Amino acid sequence: MLNRGTHLYNLVITSFIKKIAGRPRPDFISRCIPKTEVSFTNSTYFDRTICSQKNLSIISEGFKSFPSGHSSVIFAGGVFTSYYLYHKIPASTPNAALFKYSLIVLPVLTSLYVSVSRYIDYWHHWDDILAGIIIGSFCSFFSYKFLFKDLAELDSDSYIPANQQSYQQNIPDNVILPLN
């Protein structure tokens, strides 16, 4: 589909933030398997040195909780698909409008289901998921706005990609254009 740019922007932003501001996942203690000789006090800062886990990739993955990559990717695709369906499906009757809006909500509900499953499975904190949702939604909004027409226009039957708008000319009906 046309949302490859959405996912590319989203993955770059999410990966950059994970590298800069990543924090421990909720299951970090079970990944780390702390050494028993370490004394835990309220004023002590811990890093990888307290872990007895030998596999460093498991420990490194444990520090990549913020933001949720699954939430950002699935919302980037879901919101983009909802925008696309909104502008592509005509709603001429009340029943068609009900069908249209029901269909538009499905990608967002699916995205929400995947995002909540990351919290339930104890992989992310709630604010990791919220940050992923925000990043994915903004990436899809800006990508759709860049690729297609103005989102403020409510006429969903006039579907014109943004790159073709400049080729349209205001030609009167009575003018006959020569065919080359």
Which residues are identified as catalytic?
A: 70, 124
- 177 CB burial (10 A radius; 0-12, 13-18, 19+): exposed
Residue length of the chain = 180
Report residue 129 CA to chain centroid gap: 10
> How many whole angstroms separate alpha carbon 136 and alpha carbon 55?
31
Judge residue 27's burial from the number of C-beta atoms within 10 Å of its C-beta, 0-12 exposed, 13-18 middle, 19 or more buried.
Answer: middle
Secondary structure (H, E, C), 101-152: HHHHHHHHHHHHHHHHHHHHCCCCCHHHHHHHHHHHHHHHHHHHHHHCCCCC
